[in-house]
Amino acid sequence: MTSYFAPGVYVKEVPSGPRTIGRVSTSIAAFIGKAPKTQIRLDEAVAIDNWTQFADAYIGDATEGSHLANAVYGFFANGGGRCYVVNIGDGDNLTGTAAKPTGLRLLEALDNVSMVAAPGFTRPQDYAALLEHCEHELRQDRLAILDTPEDVPDIDDLLEAGGAPVPDSGDEETEDGNGETGGGGGGGRTSTEGTGPIGAPQSPGGYAAQYFPWIVVQDPVTGKMVTQPPSGHMAGIWARVDSSRGVHKAPANEPVQGVVNVVHQVTRGEQEILNPAGVNCIRRFPEGFVVWGARTRAPQSGEYRYINVRRLTNMIKESIAEGTKWAVFEPNDYTLWGSLRRDIGSFLTNVWRDGGLLGRTPEEAFFVKCDEETNPPEVRNEGQIVAVVGISVVRPAEFVIFKLMQSANMTEIESTGA
């Protein structure tokens, strides 16, 4: 209690209103692969904030580029701001072993990562490892950005996933007999010989997105034109859209910076096959190369079939979890329940105002329930507090339908989003 010794008027600030729940970052990526200097900072997760920092750390006097280097360059060129890099050298195991962890195992300790990519790693076991990492019940706060193989003989090959379990964590790294493809210096195994279906598996929760085809870029190390898996460039676009529009905006209909060509010119008919299957296309239009798809690998009827819906949901749940830690060990009573309703409601109102939630009013856009019903005696006796939050998310207008109506004196066009 403050003591006052002189007569007068004293003004003291006291906290009032809801505690602010800040939004967690959604734009930090993590890349796994082979650096140009293969033995530099091997098996470390290193924070990188710009291309110069990456070049100083991983390129030096190297004369050959790599898929990893091109991906990081494309990330920053397309709007990325911070990423983590794990150099696994000449290895091809994305997790390593229990005795020698690398890749995805090193990313488990990083809570601020929201996108994960292993540029050029397109074997079934690579897909499985990336999905297992992102879908694990202790994480579910990040999405995998998957590449397709460089060589896709038939578009239909992408519609069915090849089956392969996640490599046993106790296995030692093995030599890949299929070799490498692509002009970017390797870093992933992309040959599809003998693998059958080459599509990525579905992710019911929408924790992965896949892009086709590979792109042609100028290697920043050699200056030569090389083929490159697009995942690094796509991560940069996700970060750019987060900054310019918000995580609720689908990262599509966006230009891809630094691309001079694609290895396959996707036709409209081919996209009609790939889009429902959750394979996002990079298309060439008169204005340039554009991302023309915003699907996850969730089933077409799934709740999280759009990238922005999955990422917005991740942002909301992570932000609420971080912003309500103050409630731990507080008395579990009416006062606490009301405070949580107030704080979460205030946060979601701001998300709604920014256009992230659907509804004419906050009441239509979300609800927060935390009371005696959600916290009966048996729940409180377990030391738990339960708040139920419901949100109405905005889905992208993926199709725009024009209805042409002819009349005697005029032609009317009615445009509706569907």
Residue 247 has pLDDT above 50, yes or no: yes
335 burial (CB, 10 Å; 0-12 / 13-18 / 19+) is exposed
Contact between 326 and 220 (Cβ < 8 Å): no
Question: Given its phi and psi angles, is residue 29 left (phi above 0), alpha (psi -120 to 50 degrees) or beta?
Answer: beta
Q: What confidence score (pLDDT) does residue 400 get?
A: 61
Residue 249 has pLDDT above 80, yes or no: yes
Residue 220 has pLDDT above 80, yes or no: yes
What tens digit of pLDDT does each residue of 154-213 get? 999 999 886 544 444 444 444 343 333 344 444 443 433 434 588 999 999 999 999 999
User: Distance (Å, rounded) from C-alpha 145 to C-alpha 29?
Assistant: 10
Q: What confidence score (pLDDT) does residue 228 get?
A: 98
Q: What confidence score (pLDDT) does residue 108 get?
A: 95
What tens digit of pLDDT does each residue of 121-156 get? 999 999 999 999 999 998 999 999 999 999 999 999
Structure tokens at 34: 């082979």
Q: What confidence score (pLDDT) does residue 403 get?
A: 63
Mean pLDDT of the chain: 87
Q: What percent of the chain has pLDDT over 90?
A: 76
Residue found under tokens 């996108």: 115
Mean pLDDT of 249-253: 96
Q: What confidence score (pLDDT) does residue 162 get?
A: 63
User: Distance (Å, rounded) from C-alpha 141 to C-alpha 67?
Assistant: 25
Contacts of 88 (CB under 8 A, 6+ apart): 32, 33, 34, 42, 43, 94, 96, 102, 103
What tens digit of pLDDT does each residue of 361-411 get? 999 999 999 999 999 999 999 999 999 999 999 888 867 666 666 555 544
Alpha-carbon 294 to chain mean position = 11
Identify each DSSP E strand in 307-399 by its residue range.
366-369, 388-391
Q: Which residue has the higher pLDDT, 189 or 11?
A: 11
Contacts of 380 (CB under 8 A, 6+ apart): 332
